[in-house]
Structure 1
Amino acid sequence: MVYYFTSRCGEYTIYVGKDKYENEDLIKYGLPEDVWFHVDDLSSAHVYLRQKPGEKLDDITEDLLLDCSSLVKANSISGCKMNSVYVVYTRWKNLKKTNSMQDGAVSYHRPDNVRRMKVEKNKPVVNALNKTKIEDHHPNLWQLQQDREREMVDEKKQVKKKQIVEERMKQKERNLAAQKTKEYHEEQEKGIDAQIERTRLENLNLSDDDDSDESEGSLLGF
């Protein structure tokens, strides 16, 4: 069984496994957008926040962090009795699970990517979240993961297709610019050739005039 909650922001889903055995499935069948929350150094539920595709940890608002951390504190047998606890959170994909670990236990691929925050007891937040609670007795977590993986493959294909189209357009623009540059240089060369030809003809005309003057001078006896 998985419990689903709607954040007070109304835009995000938070979900929790019923027990440590359910947590095993959540660890195994998470999505890339999921963020995992747990009370540090104490037993607690595994609380997950499902972010929007493309969002980062820094995109989690303070109110959303408060929702998740308050919920995980309230679902800790020891932590719920304390005025404050520390909560850790990280990306689902950063969770590391080995065969030697007990049910519900995890470590991290990259401990540096785990964040830690202090959380005070906050009944109003927990009560507000509990009013949105929905139970799913038989969630097909595997299918959800498969569907998301297919979506990601399709998204990558679309991105690749878009990149190819954009590259073709850029190449077309480069070819057009190169053609215009070539035509410009050809026109410049034609202009230079024409100028050279005009200069040559002018020089020939001047030479003919000089020859004519010399001929006339000879006839006059100069």
Structure 2
Amino acid sequence: MVFYFTSNVVSPPFDMYMGLDKFENEDLIRWGWPEDVWFHVDNYSSAHVYLRLKKNQTIDDIPQSVIDDAAQLVKANSITGNKMNNIDVVYTMWSNLKKTPSMEAGQVAYHKDKEVRKVRVEKRINEVVNRINKTKRESFPDLRAQREERDSEERQEQKKLLKQQQQKDKEDMKRKAEEAELRSYSSLHKEENMSTNYDDGNDSDDFM
């Protein structure tokens, strides 16, 4: 089971989701999207919350209010973190998560520590948590199928863009060739490049 939430503090809103337990988190880790940003309470057990970016967005494009929503949701779903004030929530792109066979279920590391960010959560804000929980919905998605469909659409889009670029390059080459031909034609018609059989006033018909 996957729980889905909506951060509607901005328009258009952002989607968030998390797993039921640490075992389901394994599937989320495995089949996450490159557009997903992972959130977790730093140094304490908590839910793994994912925030899905819009197309062409980066982690730098996330509004602070949406980051705060995700952090509140993570804190509220941490047994220890929910009871504490002034905790840190870490977040990074899904692609930066590192999983090895020796790790326990739900445990992750990072490929690059410098790409992990932190946000301080001073306390639980019930108004925020309640607002987010009102958007909660449960689903049993086929995570693998969703990821494969996403990847297929991306490949089709890349093929489309490649075809468009190839067509543009072809048109550019044709245009440059036509311009070069036009310049060559114009050069032939310049006065200094033109020849004549005019005899400069010499009316003689002699060839000798």
Partner Cα separation in structure 1 for residue 142 and residue 75 of structure 2: 27
The aligned residue for residue 137 of structure 2 is 134
Count of aligned pairs: 201
Alignment of 1:147 onto 2:149: yes
Which of residues 32, 35, 39 in structure 1 aligns to 2:34?
32
Aligned equivalents of 2:193, 2:104: Cα separation in 1: 87
| Between 175-184 and 45-54, the greater mean CA deviation after superposition | 175-184
Tell me how far 1:114 sits from its aligned partner. 1.0
> After superposition, what is the alpha-carbon deviation per residue over 1:56-108, rounded to whole angstroms, capped at 9, x for unaligned?
00110011111111100111111111122101111111111000001000011
Larger radius of gyration: 1
**TM-score with structure 1 length normalisation?**
0.86
Equivalent residue, structure 1, for 2:128 = 125
Distance 1:193 1:116, change over 3 A: closer
The answer to whether the 8 A contact 2:19-2:47 is kept is: yes
Give CA deviations for 1:16-50 in whole Å, capped at 9, x if unaligned: 11110010000001111111001111111000001
Cα distance in structure 1, aligned partners of 2:35 and 2:41: 20
> SS of the residue aligned with 1:44?
coil
- 1:6-155 to 2 correspondence within 5 Å? 6-8=6-8, 9=10, 11-120=13-122, 121-136=124-139, 138-155=140-157
Q: Which residue of 2 aligns with 1:5?
A: 5
Task: For 1:19 and 1:151, locate their aligned partners in 2 and report how far apart those are by CA, in whole Å.
Answer: 30
Task: Please tell me the residue identity of whatever aligns with 1:123.
Answer: N
Matches of 1:164 and 1:197, distance apart in 2: 46
Distance 1:177 1:99, change over 3 A: same
RMSD: 1.6
State the secondary structure of the residue aligned to 2:202: helix
TM-superposition CA deviations, 1:106-126 (whole Å, max 9, x none)? 011111111111112221111
Measure the CA separation in 2 of the matches of 1:149 and 1:25.
17
| Cα distance between partner residues in 1 of 2:151 and 2:45 | 31
Give, in whole Å, the separation in 1 of the partners of 2:167 and 2:101: 46
TM-score (norm 2): 0.91
- Counterparts of 1:195-206 in structure 2, within 5 Å, are 197=196, 201-202=199-200, 205=202
The one-letter amino acid of 1:56's match is T
Which amino acid counterpart does residue 3 of structure 2 have in structure 1? Y
Match runs of 1:140-219 below 5 Å = 140-188=142-190, 191-194=191-194, 197=196, 201-202=199-200, 205=202
Mark the runs of 5 or more structure 1 residues left unpaired by the alignment.
209-222
Instruction: List gaps (5 residues or longer) in structure 2.
Output: none
* Structure-1 separation of matches of 2:49 and 2:79: 14
The residue type paired with residue 47 of structure 2 is A
